[in-house]
Amino acid sequence: MGSEEAPLLLSAPGVEGCPGCSMDRRKASSKGRIPYKELFFVGITTLASSLPITCLFPFMYSMVRDFYIAKTEEDIGFYAGFLAASYMVGRAITATFWGILADRIGRKPVITFSILSVVIFNTLFGLSATYWMAITTRFVLGALNGLLAPIKAYCIEVCQIEHQALGLSLVNTAWALGLIVGPALGGFLAQPTEKYPHIFSEDSVFGRFPYLLPCLSVSAVAAVVLISCTWLPETIHKHTVPEKGTKIVKAFSAEEGCWNSPRRKSLLQNWPWMSTMLPYCFFSLHDTAYSEILSLWAVSDRKYGGLNFSTKDIGEVLAMAGASLLVYQLIIYRWVHKMLGTVNSSRVASAVSIVVLATYPFMTYLSGVKLSFALYSAAMMKSALATTIITGICLLQNNAVCQEQRGTANGISTTAMSFFKSIAPVGAGALFSWAQKRQDATFLPDDQVVFVVLNLVQLLGLIFTFEPFLVLPALPE
């Protein structure tokens, strides 16, 4: 019976004036077409949201030191961890609210407001005169930036099934671009009066606020993206379905296979979706802790087991990693996903990631070109592997729920993920500070213990991608 109804129903006009029906008609009439316009919006909005996070990495260490909050050099990592975590704490508190709101009023209003919050509060962060002002502005920015949940839902809703992996991977591609632009802005534009004294005077506003320039640059990018949100098409259905129109909506929802499906039940009863939460949280915890450790470890002194890099050097490393990730996402990832599948690609990437991370402690024995090559190569591989893992888990999450629950589901997963990400910088900073105080330990001295703990977290995430912990969602009928 469904096969007899489908041709008639797919050509039905739907509800006039409903943006969700309009998007469904566009998808039904363009089988096989990649929605370049919609995915372009996904890319630039995700980029604008990621820059305030990635921009901080190169100058986080020196910013804490400038605030004189750390009494010793070893304590800087501890306080830097709280600074990095404040954004994630704010996001963890409000992410579910933004996801529910995106299901109620639409994806576009939440996305637009999130970008506006970046423009305002990222600028205020650059004007921070004290450590506590920096913590507060980062916390508020994280609380008001509710973009991640609706943008993931949006990716799924503008793409046909065969392009959903591409859509979600574009979120990570934009993050990769953020890893190029953000650290470059942070590394090259922070403390401009010291780096470019012939351009910026000590008496200027940039002399008083040495980290304002990169923040202003990020806010300028976000302002341009905010204007472009005017043309962002909505995807959510804004109408009630009368009895006579039920078959039309069934036809439009058939692609997702969720009409009268168990996936329409409470999210807490949806075990395929629930089972993805643990690996998602552990992998997110690992990625954030890794980013924190990499920046602190690279710029710390050689006598503490670090590499003695400058903020400019670590900015270049992160930019190179981001550039390679951009190439990987646009060219290679689709083939990896096609060959290995969603789950196996995540498992293989996680296992290889453990091997790559195990090489980091041995880089302290290198110097010059060999050190640079080793760190660049490892950082590039690590970024590509991490995005393969997270994209696969996100694809499982979004295919396990229906559209009317997708914003809420992504909001809840973002809350859980952000909670783990807020723990990660604090834990990583404390672990790093503790490791620097045990240089002469017999078992895993100095920073070796840091990378062992990171690999244990990655191993836990890998274990939770296997049965009975992970339950795969049923295929659409």
- Amino acid, single-letter form, for residue 342: T
Asked whether the predicted pLDDT for residue 232 surpasses 90, the reply is no
The Cα–Cα gap between 187 and 189 comes to 6
**How is residue 177 written in tokens?**
């671009």
Asked whether the predicted pLDDT for residue 241 surpasses 60, the reply is no
Asked whether the predicted pLDDT for residue 226 surpasses 60, the reply is yes
The Cα–Cα gap between 222 and 49 comes to 8
Which pairs count as long-range contacts for 11-15, CB under 8 Å and 24+ apart, including other chains?
12/248, 12/251, 14/248, 14/249, 14/252, 15/237, 15/239, 15/245
Buried b (16+ CB within 10 A) or exposed e, 246-265: ebbbbbbbbebbbbebebee
Average pLDDT over residues 440-458: 81
User: Averaging pLDDT over each range in 159-173, 436-450, 458-472, which range is the top one?
Assistant: 458-472
Average pLDDT over residues 225-233: 87
pLDDT at 222: 93
Arithmetic mean of pLDDT over the chain? 81
Buried b (16+ CB within 10 A) or exposed e, 372-398: bebbeebbbbbbbbbbbbbbbbbbbbb
pLDDT at 308: 80
Give the pLDDT confidence of 370-395 residue by residue, as tens digits.
Answer: 888 888 889 889 888 988 998 889 88
pLDDT at 74: 62
pLDDT band at 251; cut points 50, 70, 90 = very low
pLDDT at 335: 85
Give the pLDDT confidence of 81-128 residue by residue, as tens digits.
Answer: 788 788 888 988 998 999 999 988 888 999 999 999 999 999 999 999
DSSP designation for 269: G
Cis peptide before 473 (omega within 30 of 0): no
pLDDT at 280: 92
Q: Which of 230, 231, 259, 236 is nearest to 18 (CA)?
A: 236
The Cα–Cα gap between 105 and 216 comes to 31
Helix (H, G, I), strand (E, B) or coil at 356: helix
